[in-house]
Amino acid sequence: MDAAADWGCRPGGRLDMNHGFVRHIRRNQIARDAYERAVRQERGRARGRLTPTPPRPRRPDQQVYRPRRPGGPGGDTSPGSPPPDTRGPRLFCLEYEGDDGNVTAVVVHQGDSAEEVTQRVCAQSPMEPALRRALCQRVQDELSKRRGTG
């Protein structure tokens, strides 16, 4: 037991925590905890102050999807056309882009004929007779596919 007294050990095998080295460690841990707490509080305050940024401007060449609305361009009610219920349900929307870049949209119904659809497209966007016949044939093919007759 005399050797234990020389080394500064206490009875029961515990370390002497009042040693200067241990006090330095505790002081550093307390200072680190206080610093981390202050940093967390500053981050919280910084987040609260941020205001939402305005949306970035769109690029002019970026295409934006705009769904068709009934009664609008390409809708199913236009002056001089019969009411939609007499022509049957919608089958598809035909979009034709002319040489000038203008797009003509026509909704095709179950009761429409290929000639009627072609006339409606040509009324908005004039085309050559050969192109008109080709469009009529293509509309006829699409109609027969969707009606289940082709």
SS (H, E, C) 72-121: CCCCCCCCCCCCHHHHCCEEEEEEEECCCCCEEEEEEECCCCHHHHHHHH
Task: Please give the single-letter amino acid code of residue 37.
Answer: R
The DSSP symbol for 1 reads -
pLDDT in tens, the chain (150 residues): 555 555 555 566 666 666 677 788 889 999 999 999 999 998 887 665 556 666 666 666 667 777 887 765 555 555 555 554 577 788 888 888 888 888 888 888 888 888 999 999 988 888 889 999 999 999 999 888 887 765
103: CB partners within 8 A, 6+ apart: 95, 96, 97
* pTM for the full predicted model: 0.42
